[in-house]
Amino acid sequence: MAPPMNTRLGLEAPERRPDGMGGYLTEWRQLGWLWVRMDARSGRVQGMGTGMVSVVHWRITTRAAPVGDPRRPRPGQRLRLGERLFTIEAVAEGDADGRFVDCFAREEDLT
The tens-digit pLDDT sequence of the chain (111 residues) is: 667 899 999 999 999 999 889 899 999 999 999 999 999 998 887 776 677 788 899 999 999 988 888 889 999 999 999 999 999 999 999 888 889 999 999 998 865
Q: Positive or negative CA dihedral for 64, 29, 60, 106?
A: positive
| Contact assessment for residue 22 and residue 47, using Cβ atoms and an 8 Å cutoff | no
- Domain map (residue ranges) of the chain: 7-110
CATH of the domain spanning 7-110: 2.40.10.270
